[in-house]
Structure 1
Amino acid sequence: MSEKAIVLSTTARKQLRHYHSATQLRADTWHRLEQYTSKLADRHARKADIAKFSKAVEDAFSILEPMETYTAFPSLSDFELLWKLYHREDYPALARVVARIVRALSSHTYRRYHIDLHAEMSQEEDDNQLSDPTGSQVNVRPYFELLVVDDINRAEIARLRQGLRDMRRPEDKFIYDLVVVPSFEDALIATLFNHNIQACVIRYGFPFRSIHQLDILQRLLSQFDDQEAEEQPDSDRGPLLGRLISDLRPELDLYLVTDVAVEEIAGDVTQCFRRIFYRQEDYLELHLSILRGVALRYETPFFSALRKYSRQPTGVFHALPISRGKSVTKSHWIRDMVDFYGISIFLAETSATSGGLDSLLQPHGPIKKAQQLAARAFGAKQTFFSTNGTSTSNKIVVQALVRPRDIVLVDRDCHKSHHYGMMLSGAHVSYLDSYPLDEYSMYGAVPLEEIKKRLLHFRSIGQLHRVKMLLLTNCTFDGVVYNVERVMEECLAIKPDLIFLWDEAWFAFACCTPTYRMRTAMGASKRLQNRYRTDEYRKKYKTYSNKMAKLDPKDTEALLNLELMPDPDLVRIRAYATHSTHKTLTSLRQGSMMHVYDQDFHKVEAAFHEAFMTHTSTSPNYQILASLDVGRRQVELEGYELVQKQLELAMALRERVAKNPLLNKYFTILLAKDMVPAQYRKSGIDAYYDPQTGWRNTNMEEAWSQDDFVVDPSRLTLYVGKTGIDGDTFKNEYLMDKYGIQINKTSRNTVLFMTNIGTTRSSVAYLIGVLVKIAAEIEENMETMSSAERKIHDKKVRGLTHDLPPLPDFSHFHPAFCPDGKPESLNGDIRKAYFLAYDEEQYEYLRIDDGSIEAEQARGREVVSSSFVIPYPPGFPILVPGQVISADILEFMRALDVKEIHGYREELGLSVFTEEAMAKLVAKPGVASLEEEVAKLEAKVATLIEPEVVAEDNPKGKVSSVK
């Protein structure tokens, strides 16, 4: 096949540079084409205009034609019709057909019925417009597209399409159309570009290269190493293509048609292929297999069961007056509830104790099946639903896995639920500090070096056996995302049985796209487990072990600078992730999931279920559970499409703010370089977009594959320091009160916008318009300011851009709450401190605005917090029970501009332990609790064990890879 050269005008090439998404380019180009053809059809158009718009039409055709080879509508035959009308200069007919296509694409009517443009063109149009079919032709069944990879001609494609159409039956739940591509590269492009594709048939014998060279499509291939596929014979590429597509979009159903005896290859390829067909088997079997595969993803066991239950007549004789809506519909005063909510929500109101539906606490029916389907969708081994939000999910996981006195390494600025979980479980907490972003009054994330240093510290003092879990937030509220795979791998090299809890409350949507998925807990866990099973890894590990044998095991600096590798014979993948499904996917409020990828889950399963019982209501909301079930269906059938659109809108918003001279005078959307220091960006990429050069081909993919931390582009942190308006005021008085725009998080000089799968282009346009109005208002105010007012304004700006208090690190626990009274052990017992404060005689209040705390510190007193102090949002503590209050923390508290601070009452001050309470604790060093005595014995035993690091379940006595 020869490559198709694309010749575009200078204007068209400039437009292309500023598109990040091929799907957005396609939509915009069709709308521009409608405008151009309408101008050409104008009878009064001048010759100069005709020449200009003719070139614009040719540019649009050149851009769209390669794209439409990857979609079912419009078809290649339809595109030939457009060229035919253009070349014969039948511009009115061309304009009508283009308008028809645009209308069908915009309204998605092509999904509801077959549109035959050739047939419609041959009909007489009374209104001179192509109209939509109606009546019996309308299809209400869900529509999808089937990708077929085969190098066949037009006639063969027509026969294949007709053969599958002939298999359609009225009872089919779904309807689909075909997209046929001829090469390996075309198949990958179609998979990434066309979100309508739900199944793929890979036939034997096709070439490697695509003939289409449109840059934005070729950009999709930049993440692949194509050498292996290109070197293979055409007939052997099918299985490799299947594996790649399975990695990119694991939700798709894959089918292989081969001329090799299927029994010879079935054992090798069935992991990614749903079924293998031998040569040309009958169309009916293929058709039924395709429909069955989609039906398995469409299934919603609990939602369907709840709907069925709601339609059954029942008599209610238990403790739910609102069940069946009786207490509402009989009322003279609250019937408006039915008007507002609808009757279905009341018909579905029931409980497990009344029978008829499954129990969340001990599922065995539709809830159990729904959780199994969710595990498949999110790449977990087990998934559990929660109706109490991720705050409860976090506590369940911690309590299930952590025993009293286990050491847990915790990201200090994680959500408050984790800190309460530590207190409830009795864990000894070792806090890790994230890198600070002082100029924006926010934290980033915990550097890997900090984590390794802490693990090596516990190993050096003989306490590594007590370290049970590493708990990190991925991604952070502000969108900083970890390199999950690298963090897990290097930590497992030091402690091969370490458990990871990744709080992905704001990252549930990340499973939907390949770039994001690589940085999720479940995605990384699967890759690591597969890697450690390979002979290739064992060879690399042997070389690594020889290198490590030459190092001094006490040389911490050397270990910090090396990329460590776990021993494949010792390592155990034990990862957990909690998702606030309701935050970034479709679910009713408080819908949450816990995902498990734990090779040793059987050892903690009983404890997990006990913890689940402890924290879960015996009256869970069934509507929330049903919404989780439906949300999972959406993830598997349209998650890829919705998240891609979410990112497109975020990128468009970034671009508009960067390019608008009025907006960028007062506002800046922070870039990767602003939120991730250079030492954590191996790729060297500062930003995904540049106003001058547009979108670089591989910016985001390069950064996400290499860097320690990346920024989720769907989080847009708007820097407002130059306006002189602090973040909280900007949020409440400007965005909310004036324009009704809701956001969640602010800092002193930033506000955070987030696009989600429900965001629309019109809402983005509204936000841009609002920002322009605010900027114009500021501009006008600046022009009318007196010199005195200008000085006040400049002082405010300086206070938000330069005079910012540094973010405080975790100070330390008071010795009374540390093992053996040694703060240098770097872990503390917050449970002990927490319950000590239950006695009101043990604490007092000190104000932060009258210098009383500094006065106490000046005379040598260590002032110790007796409670959690948590500004909200973002919801992480700046003080925990037992923590010594530092000068940095006081300065930061005085500068806080949020109105809601849990654990702090402004009129009283900070709650701190009295000197007498602390003196009593310190005065009794000889009186140790049973737990403390056990700890001392464990420490003595640990010093006698050689080598220092021993896996808990290691019958061979092998040592870990870092001695």
Structure 2
Amino acid sequence: MPENKTTKPMSHVLVVSADAGWRDEVVAGINAAAQKLDNPFDLLAVPAADAGAAVAAVRADGDVQIVLIDHGDHAPAARSGKGAARHQDVAAMAQEIIALRPELSLYVTLEDDENKLLLEQLASNVVHGYFYRGEHDFAGWARILAAEIAEKSATPFYDELKNYVRMAKDSWHTPGHAGGDSYKGSPWVGDFYDFAGENLLRADLSVSVEMLDSLLHPTGVIVQAQRLAAQAFGARKTYFATNGTSTANKVIFQTLLAPGDKMLLDRNCHKSVHHGVILSGAQPVYLDSSVNRKYGLFGPVPRATVLAAIEQHPDARVLILTSCTYDGLRYDLKPIIEAAHAAGIKVIVDEAWYGHARFHPELRPTALESGADYCTQSTHKVLSAFSQASMIHVNDPLFDEHLFRENFNMHASTSPQYNLIASLDVARKQAVMEGYRLLDRSLKYAQELREKINATGVFRALELADLLPEELANDGIRLDPTKITIDITASGFSSDELREELFERFNIQVEKSTHNTLTLLLTVGTTRSKVSRLFDALLRLAKERRPERTSARMPELPHFTRLACLPRDAFYEYGERIPLLDEQGQPNAALAGRVCCDQITPYPPGIPVLVPGQVITPEIIAFLTRIMRMQKSIEMHGLATHDGEPCLRVLAPGELEAMASRTVL
């Protein structure tokens, strides 16, 4: 099976020492030794004279994989007053480098074991290994450093999957296409074999292949791959999920919450979070999100609202927040998490759109670095995993792995797609080995693209101040620069028209839109050519500007009302369907005061207007009616139909009362 031709990786070892003679000798010695090794990672030592130069090099050179810090130039200094200061200097340098790029490996040279004991006290959590300064065993050093890179860049599951495909075993097991053989030669579906590719089909295998481990009960290569992912993302434990972050959220909910347990959640959570509330039987306390009414964007929950909810509900077991939002707004999480922990509340952060943040200092701190107990990430959204491939990261010191596994297996398929698991393994490797360089490039493209968009004189890239609802002004909210929201108002195009023009004429597909914005997503896969083509398209469309349309705003989302019962209980009732509109085509007053059985969600943005168990008000009925009339491009998830008419499923008379008397046998 031929391998794809790729550029050979580069791996720089940054040697930091104020002793120029020693530094030059080490650099030359490691490089000479590396030339004699197999050296598949192109190991190359490069010099830095001091901490400032080292930090600058780490910022500028995305190929730096290891930093070797010289502890000192002679033993007596380590035993004098200067020695103690030198320990502090080395520890401070190590901490600064790791704070900048936590994926790097750090090695330190020592004079003696006394040095090691002192440094262990100061920086044991960031130093990966030590060399004795006077040994000058550069061949040995080079082998150890090469082994470090090999370990970091290993893809245990992907490698084993490739090995199995190379074995060319006959398939007498599932799946039925038998490695793609059912497609080959078919006059009807033979083209799918060429479209999908031989390796992808050969790697679509059954759980019968023991050497590829079991996602439901891993003991081999999947365990190894997940352990490497945990190290990369800063977690105690990491689990691969092949059903997306939607399932990951539900698994955590069912692990932490028993029926009736109270939880706090921002109302602008992804609908999977609200589904998790139903499945877990939890008692939710919904927190209204902030709203940018000019652009129809929903932001984080104001910090004061979250802190007040924590104070008012000390019996809550869980708080879940979404950071960053679809539009790139991210919480200042640390003070919120500290307040929750002080009240004994576990914190889950849905980082579906922020899985790349660990690998560039401009995007950190991550949720885990801010103290979150659980974090879910859609590794496929902004890193290089396949769609549906996600990760669950755990830092909860009281984590019950058995209970988690039981809930995980309840949701996971017993026939997981091995290509998805392999893509998670590969995405983690890429993030660790070149994520900083790729993200640095994406951030530069983002800044350049903002300038180019503004230069059209018609389209405008919105900044944090434009996106931030007024009530968040002092909350420390930051913007992920890789998500660009464009104000299209001055173009005279509607968002639907502009999306169609971009797609049909310029072969460009954007992420999402509101009535007057388009959203672009830059990732590790963004290229210079794509940036140029997008700018060219917007420049041409700017020249075709139309008369500016009458300003329209998205109808204001009504505030949350109240729950008449647990969402789970309302959802599982039969209910009855009542039309949204009356016979005159007006908002149906018969719905006022009734209890909704379903989650009603305009998409985009995907924030529920109603959740199961919520009492319906006239304001909510009017909002839904207006949305359906004014925003034709918005899908309304959760509406039932009866005789072709949109309806709400609500509790039937007597069902709410019956809940109170119901007993479980």
| TM-score normalised by the chain length of structure 2 | 0.91
Secondary structure of the corresponding residue to residue 866 of structure 1? coil
1:917-932 counterparts in 2 under 5 A?
Answer: 917-918=652-653, 920-921=654-655, 927-930=660-663
Q: Residue 267 in 1 paired to residue 59 in 2?
A: no
Secondary structure of the corresponding residue to residue 598 of structure 2? coil
Other-structure match for 2:317: 468
1:796-945 counterparts in 2 under 5 A?
Answer: 797-800=549-552, 804-813=554-563, 815=564, 817=565, 829-836=566-573, 838-839=574-575, 842-847=576-581, 850-856=584-590, 861-889=592-620, 890-891=622-623, 893=627, 894-904=629-639, 907-913=644-650, 917-918=652-653, 920-921=654-655, 927-930=660-663
- Tell me if the contact between 1:262 and 1:278 (Cα under 8 Å) persists in the aligned partners: no
Separation in structure 1 between the aligned mates of residue 59 and residue 472 of structure 2, nearest angstrom: 29
Other-structure match for 1:624: 420
Q: Residue 355 in 1 paired to residue 210 in 2?
A: yes
Q: Residue 410 in 1 paired to residue 162 in 2?
A: no
The 1:145/1:911 distance shift into structure 2, 3 A limit, reads same
Other-structure match for 1:946: none
Q: Residue 344 in 1 paired to residue 218 in 2?
A: no
Q: Residue 710 in 1 paired to residue 556 in 2?
A: no
- Tell me if the contact between 1:475 and 1:481 (Cα under 8 Å) persists in the aligned partners: yes
Gaps of 5+ in 2: 74-81
Other-structure match for 1:538: none
Secondary structure of the corresponding residue to residue 444 of structure 2? helix
Per-residue deviation, 1:339: 1.8
One-letter amino acid matched to 1:473 = T
Per-residue deviation, 1:503: 0.7
- Tell me if the contact between 2:299 and 2:469 (Cα under 8 Å) persists in the aligned partners: no
Q: Residue 577 in 1 paired to residue 375 in 2?
A: yes
Separation in structure 2 between the aligned mates of residue 329 and residue 356 of structure 1, nearest angstrom: 27
Structure 1 stretch displaced more, 708-717 or 300-309? 708-717
Structure that is richer in helix per residue: 1
Describe the superposition over 1:454-473 as per-residue Cα deviations: whole angstroms up to 9, x where unpaired: 23333xxxxx33x1111111
Percentage identity across aligned positions?
A: 33
The 1:749/1:375 distance shift into structure 2, 3 A limit, reads same
One-letter amino acid matched to 1:764 = V
> Which residue among 521, 525, 528 is the counterpart of 1:761?
528
The 1:912/1:315 distance shift into structure 2, 3 A limit, reads closer
Separation in structure 2 between the aligned mates of residue 263 and residue 473 of structure 1, nearest angstrom: 42
Secondary structure of the corresponding residue to residue 508 of structure 1? coil
Q: Residue 249 in 1 paired to residue 97 in 2?
A: no
Secondary structure of the corresponding residue to residue 160 of structure 2? helix
After superposition, the CA RMSD in angstroms is 2.6
- Tell me if the contact between 1:871 and 1:898 (Cα under 8 Å) persists in the aligned partners: no
Per-residue deviation, 1:717: 0.7
Per-residue deviation, 1:424: 1.0
> Which residue among 639, 651, 674 is the counterpart of 2:466?
674
Q: Residue 438 in 1 paired to residue 438 in 2?
A: no
Other-structure match for 1:752: 519
> Which residue among 33, 45, 51 is the counterpart of 1:167?
33
Separation in structure 1 between the aligned mates of residue 658 and residue 120 of structure 2, nearest angstrom: 68
The 1:324/1:884 distance shift into structure 2, 3 A limit, reads same
One-letter amino acid matched to 2:650 = F
The 1:624/1:649 distance shift into structure 2, 3 A limit, reads same
Per-residue deviation, 1:176: 2.2
Separation in structure 2 between the aligned mates of residue 245 and residue 158 of structure 1, nearest angstrom: 22
Q: Residue 490 in 1 paired to residue 339 in 2?
A: yes
- Tell me if the contact between 1:807 and 1:888 (Cα under 8 Å) persists in the aligned partners: no
Structure 1 stretches of 4+ with a deviation exceeding 6 A read none
Secondary structure of the corresponding residue to residue 429 of structure 1? strand
One-letter amino acid matched to 2:320 = L
Separation in structure 1 between the aligned mates of residue 472 and residue 263 of structure 2, nearest angstrom: 25
Separation in structure 2 between the aligned mates of residue 314 and residue 375 of structure 1, nearest angstrom: 33
Per-residue deviation, 1:151: 2.2
One-letter amino acid matched to 1:313 = A
One-letter amino acid matched to 1:616 = A
Per-residue deviation, 1:139: 11
Describe the superposition over 1:546-596 as per-residue Cα deviations: whole angstroms up to 9, x where unpaired: xxxxxxxxxxxxxxxxxxxxxxxxxxxx61111111111011111111110
- Tell me if the contact between 2:213 and 2:219 (Cα under 8 Å) persists in the aligned partners: yes
Other-structure match for 1:507: 354
Structure 1 stretch displaced more, 892-901 or 710-719? 892-901
> Which residue among 375, 382, 393 is the counterpart of 2:248?
393
Separation in structure 1 between the aligned mates of residue 355 and residue 662 of structure 2, nearest angstrom: 42
The 1:231/1:446 distance shift into structure 2, 3 A limit, reads farther
Other-structure match for 1:318: 173
Per-residue deviation, 1:628: 0.4
Other-structure match for 2:78: none
Separation in structure 1 between the aligned mates of residue 83 and residue 352 of structure 2, nearest angstrom: 43
Secondary structure of the corresponding residue to residue 314 of structure 1? coil
Q: Residue 258 in 1 paired to residue 117 in 2?
A: no
Other-structure match for 1:737: 504
One-letter amino acid matched to 1:151 = A
Greater gyration radius? 1
One-letter amino acid matched to 2:368 = M
- Tell me if the contact between 2:604 and 2:634 (Cα under 8 Å) persists in the aligned partners: no
Gaps of 5+ in 1: 1-137, 207-229, 459-463, 526-573, 683-706, 783-792, 818-828, 932-963
The 1:172/1:804 distance shift into structure 2, 3 A limit, reads closer
Other-structure match for 2:79: none
Per-residue deviation, 1:311: 1.0
Describe the superposition over 1:637-689 as per-residue Cα deviations: whole angstroms up to 9, x where unpaired: 0111111111111111112223x2xx23x32211111222456444xxxxxxx
| TM-score normalised by the chain length of structure 1 | 0.64
Per-residue deviation, 1:197: 0.6
Separation in structure 2 between the aligned mates of residue 202 and residue 345 of structure 1, nearest angstrom: 44
Separation in structure 1 between the aligned mates of residue 8 and residue 495 of structure 2, nearest angstrom: 47
Describe the superposition over 1:150-204 as per-residue Cα deviations: whole angstroms up to 9, x where unpaired: 1244x76554333222212342332222321212211111111211111111113
Separation in structure 1 between the aligned mates of residue 352 and residue 556 of structure 2, nearest angstrom: 27
One-letter amino acid matched to 2:482 = S
One-letter amino acid matched to 1:479 = G
Other-structure match for 1:428: 283
Q: Residue 144 in 1 paired to residue 11 in 2?
A: yes
Other-structure match for 1:523: 369
Separation in structure 2 between the aligned mates of residue 735 and residue 863 of structure 1, nearest angstrom: 44
Secondary structure of the corresponding residue to residue 645 of structure 2? coil
> Which residue among 355, 364, 368 is the counterpart of 2:223?
368
Separation in structure 2 between the aligned mates of residue 384 and residue 669 of structure 1, nearest angstrom: 37
Q: Residue 202 in 1 paired to residue 69 in 2?
A: yes
Structure 1 stretch displaced more, 281-290 or 193-202? 281-290
Other-structure match for 1:278: 132
Describe the superposition over 1:313-333 as per-residue Cα deviations: whole angstroms up to 9, x where unpaired: 323222323233322235344
Separation in structure 2 between the aligned mates of residue 170 and residue 924 of structure 1, nearest angstrom: 76
